[in-house]
Amino acid sequence: MSIQVIDNFANINEQLEIINYINQNKDFTCLFDTSSLSYEQYKKYETNNTIDYPQVVHPIFLNHKIKNYFLFSCVYNLLHKNKLSDNFIQKIKVNINFPYPKNNQKKHGPIHTDLNEKGTSIIYYINNADGDTVFFDKKLNEIKRISPRQGRAVVFDSTMLHTACCPVNSVYRQIINFVLYK
């Protein structure tokens, strides 16, 4: 599977419904998360530009359970509309990254895969921000960068090496990460 960019993954009403829920709902809470990679995994794909920055995470679907019914209904509708609902869901979560000290446009987070076996990953960008998603080949050469744009999604094979960059100029970078399998 190639890297597919879908600029209208969500229409403006769907975008605003998600944005308003996340940014205005007092019950929307996040967990502080450092890298979920083991030290060995982190070191395996480390480059000179790797930084292990913290992020906050809000689970939507995890461990075969819906954790947020409102967001699950919103994102499942997006999967269905974009003909991706015939997959099983491994996880869906909101990730929020903030500027990080001594960061620049070349720095990136830990390089990883979402699954070790065939699956489909989707990154849905909630807001316009800097803080690209970067894809790598097996030799850790950068092969593609996708910039966050509200309503855009990038769909790719879950075994593909990739990472996120922290924003440098934006206040935050918000995404919804889907990991699906057959």
**Average pLDDT of the segment spanning 14-30:** 92
Residue 104 placed within a domain: yes
pLDDT at 36: 62
Residue 152 placed within a domain: yes
The enclosing domain of 162 has a CATH number of 2.60.120.620
pLDDT at 15: 98
Q: How far apart are alpha carbons 40 and 46 in whole angstroms?
A: 10
Residue 44 placed within a domain: no
pLDDT at 35: 59
Q: How far apart are alpha carbons 113 and 86 in whole angstroms?
A: 22
Reported as a single tens digit per residue, the pLDDT across 122-174 is 999 999 999 999 999 999 999 999 999 999 999 999 999 999 999 999 999 99
pLDDT at 139: 95
Please, are residues 97 and 34 in contact by the beta-carbon 8 Å criterion? Answer: no
pLDDT at 42: 72
Domain encompassing residue 157? 4-35+51-181
Residue 92 placed within a domain: yes
Please, are residues 55 and 33 in contact by the beta-carbon 8 Å criterion? Answer: yes
Residue 46 placed within a domain: no
Give the burial class of 58: count Cβ atoms within 10 A of its Cβ; 0-12 exposed, 13-18 middle, 19 or more buried: buried
Reported as a single tens digit per residue, the pLDDT across 55-70 is 899 999 999 999 999 9
Q: How many domains does the chain have?
A: 1
Q: How confident is the model at residue 94 (pLDDT cuts 50, 70, 90)?
A: very high
pLDDT at 1: 62
Residue 94 placed within a domain: yes
pLDDT at 40: 76
Average pLDDT, the chain: 93
Residue 160 placed within a domain: yes
Residue 40 placed within a domain: no
Q: How far is CA 99 from CA 30, 63, 79, 140, in A?
A: 17, 30, 30, 24
Asked if residue 50 has pLDDT above 70, the reply is yes
Q: How confident is the model at residue 18 (pLDDT cuts 50, 70, 90)?
A: very high
Asked if residue 121 has pLDDT above 90, the reply is yes
**Average pLDDT of the segment spanning 42-49:** 86
Q: What percent of the chain has pLDDT over 70?
A: 96
